[in-house]
Chain A
Amino acid sequence: DVQLLQSGGGLVQPGGSLRLSCGASGFTFSTYAMSWVRQAPGTGLEWVASISGSGGSTYSADSVKGRFTISRDNSKNTLYLQMNSLRAEDTAVYYCAKDALMAVLRFQFDNWGQGILVTVSS
Chain B
Amino acid sequence: QSALTQPPSASGSPGQSVTISCTGTSSDIGGYNFVSWYQQHPGKAPKLMIYEVSKRPSGVPNRFSGSKSGNTASLTVSGLQAEDEADYYCSSYAAKNKVIFGGGTKLTVL
Chain A contacts to B: CB under 8 angstroms = 35, 37, 44-47, 50, 59, 61, 95, 100, 105-115
Check if A109 sits within 8 Å of B36, measured CB to CB. yes
A44/B91 contact (C-beta < 8 A), A107-B34, A110-B51, A110-B57 known:
no
B residues whose Cβ falls under 8 Å from a Cβ of A: 3, 34, 36, 38, 45-48, 51-52, 57, 89, 91, 93, 97-104
Contact call A45/B36, Cβ cutoff below 8 A: no
Distance in angstroms from B17 CB to nearest chain A CB is 24
Query: A106 is contacted by which of B34, B46, B89, B104 (Cβ under 8 Å)?
Result: B34
Do B97 and A45 touch across chains, with their CB atoms under 8 A apart?
A: no
Main secondary structure of the interface of A (DSSP, over half): strand
CA of A105 to CA of B51 in the docked complex: distance in angstroms?
Answer: 13
Shortest CB-to-CB span from B101 to chain A, Å, is 4
A100 pairs with B46, CB closer than 8 A: no
**Sampled A-B contacts (28; CB under 8 Å):** A35-B99, A44-B3, A44-B101, A45-B46, A45-B91, A45-B104, A47-B98, A47-B101, A59-B97, A95-B45, A100-B36, A100-B48, A100-B51, A105-B97, A106-B93, A107-B99, A108-B34, A108-B48, A108-B51, A108-B52, A109-B36, A109-B46, A109-B48, A110-B48, A110-B57, A111-B48, A114-B45, A115-B45
